[in-house]
Structures are given as structure tokens and as C-alpha cells.
Structure 1
Amino acid sequence: MKDELQEFERYLEHLGGGLGHADRQAGLRGYCIGLMAPLARKSVEPMAAHLAPQATRSRHQSLHHFVAQSSWSDEEMLRRVAQWVVPAMDFEDGGWWIVDDTGFPKQGEHSVGVARQYCGMLGKQDNCQVAVSVSLACQAGSLPTAWQLYLPQQWADDRARREKAGVPEDVLFATKWQIAQAQIEHLVEQGAPKHTVLADAGYGVVTAFREGLTAMGLTYVVGVTGQVTVWPPGHAPLGPRPRSGRGVVATRQRLGDARHERPLCVKEVALGLEPTQWQSIEWREGTNFTLRSRFARVRVHAAHREHLRT
């Protein structure tokens, strides 16, 4: 236990180097201890009651000031956490960048970015905040390396609401995929390794997101919905229209009338596969049993509608 406490103190000292002012050290220490405490709610008020039962009010004020008003950099804190943790991660079997968003259920409407939107924690639409993150992962675990609150359009356009909540002027509306792409670009610019990017269909269906990853030299494995269109084997667009002798040279591909001249949605491709092309694969150890699903692999090319003309 003594060694663990000493390691904890070294960790806090490492993080504290990024706070900017020494007087924020106490706030960092109290907040970290509160996060590790066996509390049902990890908000400032129950933390203060746990840390200082005889002086809860004053401890609440100091913790709240540290979390909500002190101008330390959350990006610097994430960087320092990564400096501490990444050297202990084993990338011998490969590494991945995992793009995801996390919902935090909320009761009121004053927390920054709160709105009725999809909350993964609840599995449905509800009142919540959503944060977009990029995590570095290996076989043994993962570590958040970028984290940004998603600001819905109604928040971004409401000047009075922004001013009351203290949203900076330079924070504008951006879709979740745009936030994730900017986070990955920033990591790459800082020299992060170019591991494969993993993301669910919320990001994978966006052509611009996939193309952005390719432009950065990153490979990716992303989910898509059954409505995404592709060119499977034996299907291809027509070439550009022949030049008529006037005007600019046509460069866009064309869709034909025949079925083999039109892209298919992923669902159509899957339903058209032979039974022998499917394999049953165990893909994860679940809590009570091994998870198994049917998979098929077919090489296709994405059908970008913006490059096509009927």
C-alpha cells in the first residue's frame, strides 16, 4: 500500500506540472481522490462531503472553482496522462485509434451542450451531453487521448445561452465526425503513430470522414449502414460522356440504365451472397458465453454520388 501511495503522489506531481499555478495542486489532488472514492455520484458536491465532512461547503467551493473556473488546459492534462500511461502499453500485437462518442444523461437544460439527443449510455434519445473522443488502444486496454464536448446546433446559434454558460467565441458548431477528424489531424501533426482507425457507422457512413483518413495516410475499419452504396465485383459506372466538340471535357462518371451499371446498397450485396461465402466466427468473450456471428468478406468500391451524374 505504501508503494502504491508513493506512486500516486508521483503521478499527481507529474499531472500538476501542467496546471500552470502551484495553488491548483490541492484542487487536483482532492478531485482525483474524489474520482477514486466509492461514491454513487462523482460530481463535486458528494466529493466534497466525502473529503471534508466537517467543512463540506468550503471544500465544495474550492473543488468547484478548480473544475469550473480555473484556466488549466484539459488538452495538457490528457497529454500528461498519455506520457505516463503509453510507455506501459504493449503495442507488440498492434495498436488502434478508436473514435467514439459518449453520452452523459442530464436532468436540466443549463449544462453546456445539453439537449435531447441519442445517449449511448441509455441506448435511446434523451436529455444528455455528448463528448467525442479518440482513444489509443492495444490488446490490453485503451487510453483517451482527445476529448471534446459536442455543441448542438441550437446551442451554437444561441448567443445569450452561450454567454451565460461561458462558451468561448471561437467554439463553433461542428458535426461529430468533423470533431473526430480534427482531433485525429491534431494527433498526427504531433507525431502520433499512424495506427488503424476504428469507428462505428455514425462516422463510417460519412464519405468525407473516410476520405480524410485516407488523405492523412491512415487505414481504417469502420461500420456502415445497409443503405451505403458500393460497386461490388462486376458492377462499374460508365465513363465520362464523349466530348461533343464544344465546352469543357467531361470528367464525371455516369450511371447507366442496366443493373450492372448502377451501384448497390450494402444490404443488397449481402443478400446476394451465396451461403458458402458466409462463415460463423467467434469474435468476443462475453460475460456468460462466447459471442458468435456470421461474416462474409467481399471486395467492393465505395460509390461516391458526388462523382456520378445520371
Structure 2
Amino acid sequence: MGASERFDQYLSHLFEGLGHAARHAGLRGYCTGLMLPLTRKSVEPMAARVDPLHASARHQSLHHFVAKAEWSDREMLRRVCQWVVPQMDFSRGGWWIIDDTGFPKKGKHSVGVARQYCGMLGKQDNCQVAVSVSLACDQGSVPVAWQLYLPEDWAADPKRRAQAGVPEELRFATKTQIALAQLRTLLAEGAPHHCVLADAGYGVDTAFRRALSDMGLEYAVGVTSAVVVWPPGVEPLPPKPYSGTGRPPVMPRRTARLQPMSVKELALSLPAQAFHTISWREGTHEPLSGRFAALRVRHAGGNAGKARLRPLQWLLIEWPAGDAEPSKYVLSTLPEDTPINELVSAAHQCWRIERDDQDLKQDFGLGHYEGRGWRGFHHHAALSIAAYAFLMAERLIADKPVGGKKNFIERQVPALPKDYIPRGSPARAAARGALDHDTAAQPELRTARPPRTVSLLWRSKQKLIL
């Protein structure tokens, strides 16, 4: 069976989650447009490329499908996961990777837009931010949950909420709360208990780490240098005896000798022989490696050490050679007998979701949606992920780079008419000539950048269905 036939089967699988047969054409057209090498993958240029002889009508139908039609983006992602996960190999373990990604945005009317930190720009600016959970294995990763972060001023503004179509039941939630809700939903649907990975923006939240443990999930999450721990060999005194009135004491007692310390202070106190050079994966030109130390510590709670005694866990410290201080700290509840090289490998798996975000934005139009509403934002993201996930599954099946699979889509759609002018372009000086459908030359479409080499992935025999 060829890629074109599998694409038809994939769409048929996704059709079942749309709720109405009239939406099938919209799904096919939209996913096809997202896979084409267009510079801009908003509704209008995709409509003109997918159906050039009826560009205006197709523009209206695709816009209705993505912005107005009442189908579930969560159900779409669930079906995407059902298609891709059986091709992934979890024999060496898997990970849930939590991250957020920003989309620079002008104005103030697009849903969730506010002046906030935008990772894409590396600074505070006007943008939208979405929280995602990806499922990853050694072969690759795919986003399986996606939700816009709604800032507090948006959540408390009934007028803007109504104009943008924000669901009435939605209330303000922090990014960590959104991520935890996404994980709870996935686990309730039967997802496996893989280790959770996240950067310090999430890992520094004590309640977040505690919630992961309460859900039975191991984690390896970044923390800041100010996080306080009880160092190895230092055990605080038990809480004061209960007097019989009020709440029983839970905070461990400290003395002048028994004191917690920040992870930075702990790292600086370690001898040089505590650090080992470890490689975690092959890079573009050479293996990626660094200097690491791994210690068993107890989190002391916040920055003041005022919390009940916590179980021992791993503290992984990364200190690049030649740097004045460590660059990264990770707290992990992976088992005590976990080798340090496995701790290092787990802590560096987050690069996968960064690559997903880059590919989704550059190749699948994730940030190209021009509407303002809640429904359209989430529909467009789900469809971008659906297009990306199909090509990832093809890569897993055929052991070929993602880029080599786009040609079968190009062969299924007609070329742009020679006189097509995108909306907003300057008016042409001369009148348009008649279009000869039989003799018009096929324009050469070029991608915005040269194709990139993608590492090969191996076929999986695992049949995991969420």
C-alpha cells in the first residue's frame, strides 16, 4: 500500500471524529494545504492552491470548517494519537513532555493575546501562548494535548470572552494547572504512566511535582538554582512532639549544624571528582556530552526549607567545563538504582518537543492562523498536528525522512493559475489574460527553505491505543 492510500485511510479514521459527513471535504482540503510547500499556510493561500478554479468558494468553506464548525479538537488529537502511537516503539520506555510555545501577535482582540514571555522571541512581547503535552519515545514525539493559556485579564473579561468564543465553563488556570489537567485526562483515557519531563518553568512549582507523584507519575524536571534541599547525609530532626492541641507539627526541626541549602550552594561545594563526562545522544556532527553529578537529596520546600520531610530523590547537576557555575539542575523521582547516564538521557529528552514546535511552525503552519476566536485557534492547531503526525507515521513505517513524503500530496492538487493574485497584493497594471487550462504551464513552487536532513526512525510493532 502506498502513501496516498494510507493518507486516505488516515483521513477516514479522522472523519469518524468530525460528527458530520459535510465536514469531510474541509478536513481533506485543510490537511492537504498544510502539507504543501506554501510560504504562508493561512486559509486563503491554502484554498487557492488546493482548488485554484474555485478559490473564493473553497476559501469560505475552509474558513467555516476551521473557525465555525462544531467538531472537537480534543477528539481529533485523540484519533491522531490512535494512528501514530502503534508505530512508535516504547520497548526502551517513553516520556510525557510538557512545554508551552508562543505565537507573536499584533493587536489585542485575538483570543488570549497579551504582553507575556514569548519563547519564540526570547523576550516579553505581545503574543499567544499554548500549553502542550507530547508523547515521546526514542524514535520521535507527537503532541497529544493542546490548550491556549488564557491570561487572568482575559479570563475576567466577559465581553472579550464572548467575542472570542471562550467556553463559558473555562476559568483562569496557570500553565502548570493546565498541564496537570491534560495529564489527568490522558490517564483517565487509559494512557500509560510514563516519566514526565518539563523545564524549570514547571518544575520549580512544588505543587506541580507533588501532583505528578500523587498521580503515580515519575518525573525529571528542571528547577532553578534557588531551590532548597537537604544535602546527602544530612537528615533533619523530626517535627516537635504533638502537644494535643491545634494542628500536629510537620516541619522538620533544624539546628545550626542541620541546615538545608540551595542546589547551587550544594553544587559549588562538590569536589571536581563528583562530576563525570557523559554523552546522551548523537548530535549533527559529534556526540553531545557534558559534565554531570547526581546526588540523592530531599526537597526542603520552597526557598526557606519550611515543609514536611520529603522522600529522597535525584538531583542532577550539569556543569559545563570552563563555566563559572552549573547551567542546569534537575529533580527526578526515577528509581534509586537508575544509572547516571539514564538520568542524563531523560533530562535531555525535551529537545524532541522543541523540534516538534519548530517543524510545526515552519513546515505545517502552526502559527499561521489569522482568526481571533478560541475555536479556530484550537482547530487550526489540531489540524497542523494531524498533518505533522501523518508524515511522522510515514517516516516510522518507511524509515525515510519526513520531507520525502510531501511529494505525494503535491501530485494530488492542481497548480495555481498563472494570474492568481493573493488578497492584499497590489493591483496589476495590465488586465488579466484569459486562462487556458490546457496549455498553462505548471509553476515551480519552492519551499521557504532547503529541505533538512532528519534522522531515520525504526518501525515499531507496539500496538498502544489511547
Pair 1:247–1:159, CA change in 2 (3 A): same
* Gaps in structure 2 of 5+ consecutive residues: 309-466
C-alpha spacing 1:146/1:243, structure 2 compared with 1 (3 Å): closer
Contact 1:237–1:253 (CA under 8 A) maintained in structure 2: no
| Partner in structure 1 of residue 250 of structure 2 | 252
Q: 1:271 matched to which residue of 2?
A: 268
Query: Could you give the per-residue CA deviations for residues 213-254 of structure 1, whole angstroms, max 9, x where no partner exists?
Result: 11111111111110111111233333323456x634642224
For 1:117 and 1:17, the matched residues in 2 are separated by 38
Q: In 2, distance between residues paired with 1:247 and 1:82?
A: 53
8 Å CA contact retained: 2:29, 2:62 = yes
CA displacement at 1:94 relative to structure 2:
1.1
Q: Where does 1:78-117 land on structure 2 (aligned, <5 Å)?
A: 78-117=77-116
What residue identity is the alignment partner of 2:250? R
1:227-242 aligned at under 5 Å gives the runs 227-242=226-241
**What is the SS of the residue equivalent to 2:295?**
coil
Question: Equivalent residue for 2:168?
Answer: 169
> Which secondary structure does the structure 1 equivalent of 2:103 belong to?
strand
Pairs within 5 Å for 1:130-279: 130-242=129-241, 247-248=245-246, 250-258=248-256, 260-279=257-276
Deviations 1:76-132 (CA, angstroms, capped at 9, x unpaired): 111111111111111111111111111122223222111122222222222221111
Distance 1:45 1:121 in 2: 25
Task: State the partner residue of 1:307.
Answer: 307
Task: Give the whole-Å Cα distance in 2 for the aligned partners of 1:100 and 1:249.
Answer: 38
Amino acid at match of 1:8: F
User: How many angstroms apart in 1 are the aligned matches of 2:217 and 2:247?
Assistant: 33
State how far apart, in whole Å, the 1-side matches of 2:32 and 2:242 are: 72
The Cα shift of 1:172 comes to 0.8
Identity across matched positions, percent: 62
Higher normalized strand content (fraction of residues): 1
Aligned residues: CA RMSD: 1.9
TM-score with structure 1 setting the length: 0.93
Secondary structure of 2:296's match?
coil
Counterpart Cα distance in 2 of 1:241 and 1:52: 75
The alignment partner of 1:42 has SS state of coil
Q: TM-score, normalised by structure 2?
A: 0.63
Structure 1 contact 238–253 (Cα < 8 Å) conserved: no
| Residue type at the aligned position of 2:200 | A
Q: Structure 1, residues 172-211: CA drift from partner, whole Å, max 9, x if none? A: 1100110111111111111111111111111111111111
Identify if the C-alpha distance between structure 1 residues 197 and 243 changes in structure 2 by more than 3 Å, giving closer, same or farther.
closer
Structure 1: gaps (5+ residues): none
161 and 228 in structure 1: CA distance in 2 versus 1, 3 angstrom threshold: same
| Contact 1:106 1:127 (8 Å CA) reproduced | yes
Q: Give 1:14's aligned residue.
A: 13
Aligned residues: 306
Equivalents in 2 of 1:306, 1:17: separation in Å?
52
Amino acid at match of 1:53: P
Q: Distance in 1 between matches of 2:199 and 2:295?
A: 19
